[in-house]
Every structure is written in structure tokens, then in C-alpha cells.
Structure 1
């Protein structure tokens, strides 16, 4: 029993300790990182949390909803002693609505925190994820991620014609492909289209959700061949819409390029490509398909915010 006496009051108040709820506080370092850009407020922002031990999935999801970015990454120490000297870490990604199986920009952001903030001493760090081991290394002012190559297969347009109309309207379509591994539908606009038409697309999330309810598709990629004579030399452009996971448009998407790289490599006859994702923020990715069938995705990152989650 606990005896509490109010000041100026002769009456004692007795409280049963068993009825007291004492909250346990938690503090988690958190960072916001703009990925696939060399300037702040461009590219794709991701939240990165450093976790000493695994949390409940419900808590991961609550934190991600609070961050309200396309993805929040959670790095766990696993068997590493700390974030500065360890070479192997756990990594999970959550959108505001659900866990995602693969996320490029949040992986790039996670590596940036380890390399630039924690000054990790290793030239290569390994992330253990549901998509396998992802090796990440520094290369000058860029970070290179070793990703799986998810080549898409042709998709019958008639099976998704209403979804296509909701996404691109009356613009002519050259190819439609689907990656079963990533659940991404890729739509290539005809070469008669230009970048301005791609950038002008404004598909409504409600319409996309209405025309795809099977759970087969988690995001929709719209892509266009690059202007080969352009000064930028971009091999192809893209935009990515993912309302099925709570992201109306993903600004710059590394996992989408694990699908796009294989497709465009075959069409262009190139293993090294420069890609640009044409969201309002915009971002650039360097891609190289290696001889072992894996994909190197290279980009830069800017850490713009660091703090502590307290709850």
C-alpha cells in the first residue's frame, strides 16, 4: 500500500499499488534523409530509426504512420556491437499503411545514416531483409546498393485496361509488364510521347484503388524512353504510384528500378544506364546490371533532420 497525504488536508488517501500503471519510456534516434539527390528537399525523403532490439510490428507501423513518409526504415544491431563498428544489420521498411518487401530509397537513406552520422568504419555494410542480403558500399560521394534484378514479364493489357485508363488516360501505350516478385505493374508509354506528357499525368488514387482490388498490384510504374540527344543523357524516365500501400506517388523509387533496369537494358542494349524519376521532387539513379545478374543502384543522399523519438 502507498500512503499519500495532500498538503493542508488532514485526510489520508490510500492507493493500491496494483492499480497504478507506470509507463515505460523509450527513446529512438530518428533521421530524415533525402535519397537520390545531392541537394536538400529533392529526391525521396525517408525516415530512419536506429533500434537496439526488435519491436512489435504494431509499434513499427505506428511510428511509420507518425512519420508519414513513403517509407520509414528500421535498422537493428542484430549481432553487431554498435552502429559505428558493426558490418551486419537487420533492416525493415514500412509505409504509413503496411510493411513493404523491398525499398531502395530507404535502404540508401539507412546506409547514409550509418556512413555519414555513425561514421561506420566498414567499407561495406550488409542489411539482412525479407528480400535477402543487401550489400551497400560507399563510392566517393555516392552510395551503391547491391539489389536483386526483378525482370518483368509481358502482361495482357485487356486484363488491366480500366486501371491503365485511370493511370494514363488516352496516352498511347507501347508495353505493359508485371513483376510478380515485387507486385509492380510497369506501363511503357509509346515513343511518340514526351517527358512533359509523363510529368503532366495526375491519376487519382481513388480511381487506381477502385480498378485494382485483387491485391496483385502494390504499385504502378509509368515509364518512357529517354531523349537520347538530351544534355542530361537520361536513358529513361519514370513515375511511380502506390496508393495500395498508402503512397499516392513515390518521389524516387529504388525498388521500381529493380524492375525497370532489366526491361530497359534489353530494349536499349545497355548494362549501364542513367535514369530519372519525374516526380515533383525528382531524383537521379545510376544503374548497372552486373555479370552475376545482380543490379547496382547508385545515388546520393542528404541528411536534413536528426532527433529523438520519445514515447
Structure 2
């Protein structure tokens, strides 16, 4: 029997400063000459059974994970490869910086969405992503989606991000944070209600009296929840790529460039956002929860 290949594996909770919060991602640092076809990469992601599994690979044979500053990066859900994933990018940089001991101040990832840069920023990591431009849509055209969301305080706006195929639904103000966190859409109906959507973002605002602040009393500019049943993910805990869309949308609504926000899933996570032209900077923490070896 042939000996199995052994590949390092890490699981990281992204946008979290302690374990079991934020969004977990599996990270596999591959050597330049590691020969794994796409079918195997997809099967590993299925085995991990997380929203995303990330694969980091040096771009040439003379680089390694410790000294290189440019890497290829790919992301797979349990069912398919995706074009952009924020939390698995943060997790990948955390593995390189904190576990492998990469000596660079910043790392550039070459991805299906172009170059993504992650920098050290104190005890945080700062990601540089392309902005998610949105276009207004008529709410009535998405009546099936809105019905699948169930009882709501009303829909104020619907927009579409063509570069990511993300749909954003803004709810009317009026819910408390507890209302927003406890609300559950009909995921099966949602999946059947529309085609061509990768992620549905539902967002709203509220004041401190309605609970829209962190434990230290810092106000959230807005909050969100994200659903992706079309990619095999009922609800994504913290979605970095969605923040590029939310940063653009709320920048237009509030005439601001900097935001502090929370994705209000069961695990939850907090993100700092800064919009600079056609780029969005996302700032967050990451926590290692597992490291081991895959035998393939």
C-alpha cells in the first residue's frame, strides 16, 4: 500500500479574539510542488465540512511559507470553489504570521478576485479588498426572497452587487438586536426563491437602546446576517466579502468612510471597515483552534 501524503492543516476562528466565536476556516499551506488536483481539493473541503477551506501555495519554487510574501490563495466551500472569501483570507494570513512565523510585514495573495493584501496591525490583521459596488433593485422583483425571510419590520431597500453576485436587503429600523439575532428565515424556501445569487446579506440599523452596541458600549454603525444556501451554507457566521458590499452601501447611505459593525449570527463577530476609493480595508482578529496533519 502506498504511503499517504501528509499535509499540514489548521482551523482558525476568524474575526474572533477567542475560540468558538467568529467564523471557522480550515487552512492548508501547500508546498509549491504539491500535486493535488481540484477534485481532491474539493474532497478535502467536504471532509472539513466548514464554510470554507483555504489553500495557500508559494508562487515559485524558491519561496517558502516562512520567508515568502506572495502566495496563491484559493477557497472552497463544501460544494464549490468561490471567487472571494474574507474570513478564510484572514485565517490564512493568521496561519502564516502566527503559526508558521512568516517574517514579512505584509502578505499579498493572488486570487480569483485579484491581489489581496493582508498586513500586521498591532494585535489585529488588516485586509485590503476590492469594494463591492451595488446597484438599486426593485423590491417587488424579489418577492419570493422577501417572503422566505418571514415576518420582518419591512424592507427599505434592495441592492445587487454584480461583481460578487451578492444580494443585499436592508430592513426598516424598528427591531431590537435581540429580534434581529433570533429571527430565522425559511432557508429551504429561500434557496428555491431565486437563482444566480451567491450570498444574501440582510442588514439593518439601530441605536444603543435597542442593543446595537458591543459589551464595552461602542455603537455599531449597522449590523448584518448572511445566508448562502445556494453554496451549501445555510447561514455564514461572519462573512468578510459581504463587508465590502456593506461598506459601499452604508457609505452611500451615511456619507461615512469608517464603520464598526457586527455580523449577528449565533457565533457572531465584529469588524472594523474603512472605505478608501475602490478598496475596502477590513480589520479583525483571528484565533487558532486546531492544528494537525491530513493523510491523503
Normalising by the smaller structure, the TM-score range is over 0.9
**Cα deviation 1:208-267 (Å, max 9, x = unaligned):** 11112x3x2011111011426742211010000101101100000000011000011111
Q: Structure 1's 246 and 263: CA in aligned 2 closer, same or farther, altered over 3 A?
A: same
Map residues 199-238 of structure 1 onto 2, 5 A cutoff. 199-212=181-194, 214=195, 216-227=196-207, 230=213, 231-238=217-224
Partner of 2:197: helix, strand, or coil?
coil
Corresponding residue for 1:13? none
Count, aligned residues:
287
Corresponding residue for 1:59? 40
Partner of 1:197: helix, strand, or coil?
helix
Partner of 1:106: helix, strand, or coil?
helix
Whether the aligned pair in 2 keeps the contact of 1:72 and 1:94 (CA below 8 Å) is yes
**Cα deviation 1:263-287 (Å, max 9, x = unaligned):** 1111112111001000010100000
Among 57, 73, 80, which residue is 1:91 paired with?
A: 73
Deviation at 1:171, TM superposition (A): 3.0
RMSD over aligned Cα atoms: 1.3
Among 288, 291, 294, which residue is 1:303 paired with?
A: 288
Partner of 1:47: helix, strand, or coil?
strand
Q: Distance in 2 between matches of 1:146 and 1:253?
A: 15
Which of 1 and 2 has greater Rg?
Answer: 1
Among 237, 240, 248, which residue is 1:254 paired with?
A: 240
Whether the aligned pair in 2 keeps the contact of 1:195 and 1:224 (CA below 8 Å) is no
Whether the aligned pair in 2 keeps the contact of 1:135 and 1:145 (CA below 8 Å) is yes
TM-score normalized by the length of structure 2: 0.94
Q: Structure 1's 170 and 270: CA in aligned 2 closer, same or farther, altered over 3 A?
A: closer
Whether the aligned pair in 2 keeps the contact of 1:54 and 1:76 (CA below 8 Å) is no
Partner of 2:149: helix, strand, or coil?
helix
TM-score normalized by the length of structure 1: 0.89
Q: Distance in 1 between matches of 2:251 and 2:3?
A: 52
Whether the aligned pair in 1 keeps the contact of 2:223 and 2:263 (CA below 8 Å) is yes
Among 5, 11, 15, which residue is 1:36 paired with?
A: 15
Partner of 1:257: helix, strand, or coil?
helix
Q: Distance in 1 between matches of 2:152 and 2:67?
A: 54
Partner of 1:160: helix, strand, or coil?
helix
**Cα deviation 1:134-166 (Å, max 9, x = unaligned):** 011000000000000012111111111011110
Gaps of 5+ in 2: none
Deviation at 1:105, TM superposition (A): 0.3
Deviation at 1:191, TM superposition (A): 1.4
Whether the aligned pair in 1 keeps the contact of 2:201 and 2:224 (CA below 8 Å) is yes
Name which of structure 1's ranges 36-45 and 165-174 shifts more when overlaid on structure 2. 165-174
Q: Distance in 2 between matches of 1:192 and 1:185?
A: 22
Whether the aligned pair in 1 keeps the contact of 2:131 and 2:248 (CA below 8 Å) is yes
Q: Distance in 1 between matches of 2:38 and 2:146?
A: 34
